[in-house]
Structure 1
């Protein structure tokens, strides 16, 4: 086991819509597209964050697990979009120096363990909401 490089833990968030919305933390490691497929089949979609209140709610959930978490934001080359309803980004909580598109292969967004958004490669296995 020596010399192994561990990747950051990445889970994902799903949203459940009723009269309002609730978030569900899925504690499985999946690439962004896999997490999106899972959420669409079992819930509604990956989580969207469009207000300070939603950001705060997600951060409370994230803080319990101290993890990096996929959310439903992605770069479609022309604009930032939410996977749910294909809406354009109107609210953002980027971390310092983000988005950076490191190595030119980052198109998906995670809620970083520090609570802010990071631009990452979509094939990174993370948990999700």
Structure 2
């Protein structure tokens, strides 16, 4: 049930068993204050976080724009183009799907977010060797989780791994709670857009609260010591099987009791109807007598 792969997950298992994971950090976007060229900025983000920030949707763009509104800096993003005139792509391989350019005619091939601009449009092409601050991104938890099958003592969970997270070794903390909680550790095997796991040894007909959070282990940018970077978890409620048979049996017994409770009045009605039917079938002696006399 605990498929640990590699020294990293074995080390994490020891931390969890000793209760020493208080130092883990939940993070989305991190500002790096040291100016550096785009390539160096990406290497720094990959070493200490996951990569330069990928803002695949306009919602993510506006979230970052709002978070950096008070800053007067230029932040490198994980967005570039191979040549002038070619399409802009995120480091995850996705194409830029919206237009929030302050100016897209500049000859630069690496994109920055110009936090100091007052307009909503803050993307700007820049020369990649210019020194600017950077916006790094931490791990990303699954956006949604599918429960494909539920048994009496097990359940199967699956989710799509974003193209951003497919690029880096990472794992998932899966916390299962009823009256108590248990945290399971799963590593991403790599090379797949789908993560699929089985959780077993559960109690039948029981509702569980499940939380899944992506994490990576990185050296701290200040101390160099390894730390756990973890995203906010995705949560769901799941109920195991094994209780439907009891419900069916209970419904059957209730129907039998209902029929049994109707038996006495039905027996009385039967005798009443039988008596009436017998009376109707008896010959009418008065009519027979009249017919005999007239003859």
TM-score computed with the length of structure 1 as normaliser: 0.72
Q: Which whole-Å CA distance do the structure 1 matches of 2:40 and 2:81 have between them?
A: 17
User: Structure 1 runs of 4+ off > 3 angstroms?
Assistant: none
Aligned to 1:11: none
Q: 8 Å contact 2:57–2:97 — kept in the other structure? A: no
Q: 8 Å contact 1:49–1:91 — kept in the other structure? A: no
Q: 8 Å contact 1:62–1:69 — kept in the other structure? A: no
* Cα gap change, 1:44 to 1:26, in 2 (>3 Å): same
Q: 8 Å contact 2:54–2:77 — kept in the other structure? A: yes
Indicate the SS of the match to 1:127: strand
Aligned to 1:90: 97
Residues 1:53 and 2:59 aligned together: yes
Aligned to 2:89: 81
**Cα shift at 1:87:** 1.9
Aligned residues: 104
| Structure 1 range deviating more: 32-41 or 45-54 | 45-54
The runs of 5 or more residues in structure 2 that have no matched partner are 1-25, 136-295
Q: Which whole-Å CA distance do the structure 1 matches of 2:78 and 2:131 have between them?
A: 14
Indicate the SS of the match to 1:27: strand
The runs of 5 or more residues in structure 1 that have no matched partner are 1-17
Q: 8 Å contact 1:74–1:81 — kept in the other structure? A: yes
Indicate the SS of the match to 1:66: coil
Give the RMSD, CA atoms, in angstroms. Answer: 1.8
Q: Which has the higher contact order (CA 8 A, sep 6+)?
A: 1
The structure that has the greater radius of gyration is 2
TM-score computed with the length of structure 2 as normaliser: 0.33
Q: Which whole-Å CA distance do the structure 1 matches of 2:106 and 2:113 have between them?
A: 16
Q: Which whole-Å CA distance do the structure 2 matches of 1:55 and 1:80 have between them?
A: 15
**Cα shift at 1:44:** 0.8
Counterparts of 1:91-106 in structure 2, within 5 Å, are 91-95=98-102, 98-102=103-107, 106=108
Q: 8 Å contact 2:36–2:132 — kept in the other structure? A: yes
Indicate the SS of the match to 1:29: strand
